[in-house]
Amino acid sequence: MNKGILNGIGAYALWGLFPIYWKYLHQVPALQIIGHRIGWSFLLLIVVILLTRQWQSFRSAALAPKTIVIYSIAAVLLSLNWLVYVWGVNSGFIVETSLGYFINPLFSVLLGVVFLRERLRPAQWLPIVLAAAGVIYLTVTYGQLPWIALSLAFTFGLYGLVKKLAPLGSLYGLTLETALVFPIALVYLAFAGFTGSGAFLRQGSLTDILLIGTGIVTSIPLLMFASAARQIPLTMIGVLQYIAPTLQFLIGVFLYQEAFDRPRFIGFSLVWLALIIFWLENYLANRRVPVQPIPELGEG
């Protein structure tokens, strides 16, 4: 097994294990966790750029007005995605968060049709219809939209759409995104600390270490993915990306004993069937065309 595949598996496995990490911070409000995640990620990424002597290159690439606008939108979408994900995990909805990332590839395809005028092959419409049927079934069964899953798919799908227009690579891109929302996160965390509601330095050393560690657990899988994306084909990335939501689902059901009754099984099965059909159709189509460049990807 080559290094690229190992890095890809490692990146998606780490993303899939995220619920366990966030559960250790369940006593910290989700908004504070995201503030720390933004802050410590930004500081770590800046250190990486400085140590690798890329500051001048990053600065010249990041300061273009158009680039700042694009990444400001991306930063807002990513922050919202992180917030919904962490809140969902720590509120006992890990299974539903996994559904969001199962749906996301199909939602991204639909966004490409709507906004980028991409054309789908006839067989590609079937999985989209099946996934929509699964969501509708869950909505009717439980009397409400699976809003956590849809919010994650929506924000991350739009984030991916924005990133298609973005000129920077993974390292520079995430650094700029976190830089743009870093002042807001810093002001919020300072206010929380001043008013006595902040968790940092108040809930024990383990909590402090885990909050600081949010920067590491955010950055490492992203850098692993960036390395993998340069070494393995798009079809392999397409297979590996389902490691993360699958692990999240298994963690939710078997480790944290979240409900997975018959209605949920039927709704999820429709989505899983949609993904199988989508992947098989895409695999067969890609065998007939040259491999395309690897797109930017990421995970909650």
Mean pLDDT by 10 residues, the chain (300 residues): 85 95 96 97 95 94 93 95 96 96 89 84 90 94 93 92 85 93 97 93 94 94 80 73 94 96 95 91 72 49
pLDDT of residue 300: 63
Residue 295's pLDDT is 45
On the 0-12 / 13-18 / 19+ scale of CB atoms within 10 A, 53 is exposed
Q: What was the pLDDT predicted at 297? A: 44
What per-residue confidence (pLDDT) applies to 299? 58
Per-residue confidence (pLDDT) for residue 294, from 0 to 100: 45
What pLDDT shows up at residue 289?
56
pLDDT at 279: 85
Quote the pLDDT of residue 293.
47
Which pTM value belongs to this model? 0.89
Whether 31 and 83 have beta carbons less than 8 Å apart is answered as yes
